[in-house]
Amino acid sequence: MKRSDRLVSLTNYFLENPRKHTSLPFFSEKYAAAKSSISEDLDIVDRVMREEGHGHLQTIPGASGGVSFIPDFSMENGNQFINELCSRLQDPARILPGGYLYMSDVLGDPQMVNKIGRVLASVFSDRPIDAVMTVATKGIPLAYATASVLNVPVIIVRRDPRVTEGSSVSINYVSGSSRKIQTMVLPTRSLHEGANVCIIDDFMKAGGTINGMISLVKEFNANVGAIGVLAEADDEEDERVVENYTSLVKITNVDIKQETIEVHPGNY
């Protein structure tokens, strides 16, 4: 295969297999090309990906060496994306009863969701993460988008047990804003002891739901390695029960009567 063809094929391979360690001989054989030619190809892919802020190739030298593609979202691209997101969300027609925001259109756009996942994953890129956890329903697409880039499985916590998942562990937690006692369930087979979990959700008010997931992770003797949310409501900051999280946008000054709302970049 010629260099030009190899570059298209390699780029496709890396984008389909993020963070997967692949040996150089694999590529040599696949393309029937010398290792030195493959090395030059990889330099080109690495340089272009870096220049365009999509990620970089991580090379491990030696006998068991190889290469893996680490997707990234440059700070510049990330900030630009978040500003676009803020202006899209800052529409008074989105205000719903209870200070919630209608975001189903944003969360229903797969290209948008994939970008949010890439931004969140880039923040957690250098932490050891074994799984992404979210609670049904709205956090699910964001969790998959993030996990897809981190190349780890997704674990979905439910508020109701289902017959189709076998035995499960359930915990009670206090919803932060309504102070109601609620239940969360996770199938026993879903999570291993000692795993490092990244918790993802779409919206955080006081943080009760995320706190519930933290308790659930501890119940399995696993660790919380990272917490990421698309949007946080600033108004409840003094009641917040969660620390050390990453938010992309922060929603402030929601006034239902005046129909005004402000959306600013979060702590990303």
Quick check: 188 binds its own copies (CB under 8 A)? Answer: no
Quick check: 70 binds its own copies (CB under 8 A)? Answer: no
Quick check: 111 binds its own copies (CB under 8 A)? Answer: yes
Quick check: 68 binds its own copies (CB under 8 A)? Answer: no
Distance CA 249, CA 44 (A): 35
- Residue type, position 25, single letter: P
Using DSSP's 3-state secondary structure scheme, residue 181 falls into strand
Quick check: 175 binds its own copies (CB under 8 A)? Answer: no
Q: Across 102-220, where does the E strand assignment appear?
A: 131-135, 154-157, 168-174, 181-187, 196-204
Binding string to its own copies for residues 209 to 238, with x set by CB under 8 A, is what? ------------------------------
CB of 247 to its own copies, least distance (A): 18
- Of 66, 2, 59, which Cα lies nearest the Cα of 31? 2
Q: Which of 33, 123, 136, 171 binds its own copies (CB under 8 A)?
A: 136
* CA angle centred on 115, ends 109 and 117, rounded to 5°: 100
How many Cα atoms within 13 Å fall on the side-chain side of residue 124? 33
CB of 140 to its own copies, least distance (A): 5
- Of 31, 24, 13, which Cα lies nearest the Cα of 62? 24
CB atoms within 10 A of CB 41: 19
**Which range, of 49-57, 58-66, 219-227, 236-244, touches its own copies by CB under 8 A?**
49-57
| Beta-bridge partner residues of 262 | 252
> Which residue number, 10 or 230, has a Cβ lying nearer to its own copies?
10
Quick check: 258 binds its own copies (CB under 8 A)? Answer: no
Which residues contact its own copies by CB under 8 A? 3-5, 7-12, 15-17, 44-45, 47-49, 52, 54, 96-98, 100-102, 104-105, 108-111, 113-114, 136-138, 140-141, 144-145, 147-148, 151-156, 158, 163-166, 187, 189-190, 203
